[in-house]
Structure 1
């Protein structure tokens, strides 16, 4: 799927919360921007953590993802700049929490995000990153229907594999019904602690099962990564030398290498 004016669209997804999905969305987008890519981050999570994580107050946003999904505002008119060079944001507003209920009986409800990309008038983007809600919801289906790739974040913990089969089944269903061009970008292991035997074992198990689908680079547990959202900046703007910042830069480079950019 190619949207005019946009490079590859990547949905960052996992129906489990607390697995580094929003952290990855923010910091992968910022890292790609640091590599001279023009990037759009779409906050499709009603919690709005990608929005606040870039220093934007939801209450001050005039229009955002909700308005675009409802067809009330054009995508190009809802984008805002961020303090990060080459990184733009489609913010989540408080109204987004009600979008699923409002859309449930609407025809073509799964394609609202896809339709928003059509007819885009503006400077082209090299990458689009979509931060999905932590659920296999209508909003997540919208993201996957509009995307070229899906990246799954997976925390290296005891229940890491729980629910992953369900997510993979959902991806297959969307590929067969709504978006045949959806590709598995890969699985990104997050909150990795190689001092912890369980974390090491989970990583080994995931790599043994999924093979090359798993990113070579991983995201470590890192204090600077945890602190950055409270400052409203990606971790590289908080401490570029931190292990977290360097890890996401490496993941961004690996993504570009995988796609031969």
Structure 2
């Protein structure tokens, strides 16, 4: 019924997921205007933030649909593996439908290649395919395959608190700079961004 953020660090508020969210899709099915519920919850607070980032599950269910309806931009992380490419057309189709029916403002803000290892031919080929499909929407930053990114959550820390000098931390910091640079020319409040995780 309400969004209650907590301050993770100065300048960074977080709203975490909870077990109740697992049943939310079923509960939302009978709600009128169910695609707009998250947008309505964000409305009173969105001007308090420069960015609101919604981390979505890899499914394209009602929760993800709510995030897309609430967002101005969608950022798509894609693992540099063949299977990740198979969902590209579906993701683009869903985004186009949401833009046409529910949210005219929705744009693809960027695509980021993850779990990248420059030594693997497959990874390089997948990145080339992503560039062919999305062109200048692809971020120059590649998130390298890095053990620190897996270790940090196990220690209940973000990657910067766990090892700020790691390749993973440097890559994500570089990505943040790219996102900020890209959004400088858009509206002062780049309100909402949805991420379709893989």
When normalised by structure 1's length, the TM-score is: 0.68
- Cα distance in 1, alignment partners of residues 84 and 58 from structure 2: 14
Per-residue deviation, residues 44-93 of structure 1 (Å, max 9, x unmatched): xxxxxxxxxxxxxxxxxxxxxxxxxxx2x3x2xx11122x3321111111
Query: Residue 252 of structure 1 is aligned with which of 166, 176, 184?
Result: 176
Displacement of 1:164 in angstroms is: 1.2
Secondary structure of residue in 2 paired with 1:187: strand
- Cα distance in 2, alignment partners of residues 164 and 91 from structure 1: 28
Large movers: runs of 4+ above 6 Å:
none
Give 5+ residue unaligned stretches, structure 2.
Answer: 186-198
Partner of 1:145: 69
Partner of 1:79: 5
Partner of 2:37: 112
Displacement of 1:162 in angstroms is: 0.6
Secondary structure of residue in 1 paired with 2:164: coil
Displacement of 1:159 in angstroms is: 1.5
1:218-237 paired onto structure 2 within 5 Å: 218-237=142-161
Secondary structure of residue in 1 paired with 2:94: helix
Partner of 1:102: 27
Count of residues in correspondence between the two structures:
185
Displacement of 1:119 in angstroms is: 2.4
Displacement of 1:139 in angstroms is: 0.1
1:189 aligns with 2:113: yes
Secondary structure of residue in 2 paired with 1:161: helix
Displacement of 1:120 in angstroms is: 2.9
Give 5+ residue unaligned stretches, structure 1.
Answer: 1-70
